[in-house]
Amino acid sequence: MVFLKQFRDVADGRMACYQAIVEAPNRMTHGPIDAGLLHGDWELAIEQFATVRLIDRLGLRVRASDGKVRSVFDFWIKFAFTAEPGRVVWQVV
């Protein structure tokens, strides 16, 4: 999983004093518990930045017309997992 870890700045609450993108592997502990298909058209908007090239890293194809990723197979799944220790892949202090 990929997380944004962020702490609010003490002097200006609209700003962050620390930001990091963290990757953490997960270990499935029980599941799948339940699953099903999603109906309708689903798409994902991901911003690509020079410092964090998430689209490239995940190997996704983005539509040129609107910059979104179109899903191929839409489903949901419910399972239990344990988040393992992660690592910082990008940070601003």
Q: What is the pLDDT of residues 49-65, one digit of tens each?
A: 777 788 888 888 887 77
The pLDDT of residue 93: 73
* Domain boundaries of the chain, sorted by first residue: 1-33+80-93, 40-73
The pLDDT of residue 55: 82
Q: Where are the beta strands (DSSP E) in the chain?
A: 2-8, 16-23, 26-37, 43-45, 68-70, 75-83, 87-92
- Report the b/e string of 23-43 with b at 16+ CB within 10 A: eeeeeeeeeeeeeeeeeeeee
- The CA angle 32-42-81, to the nearest 5 degrees, is 25
Q: Which helix (H) or strand (E) holds 57?
A: helix 54-58
The pLDDT of residue 43: 81
CB atoms < 10 A from the CB of 17, how many? 13
10-41 pLDDT tens trace: 999 999 999 999 999 999 998 788 999 999 88
The pLDDT of residue 51: 78
Q: Residue 53: beta bridge partners?
A: none
Q: Say if residue 86's pLDDT is above 80.
A: yes
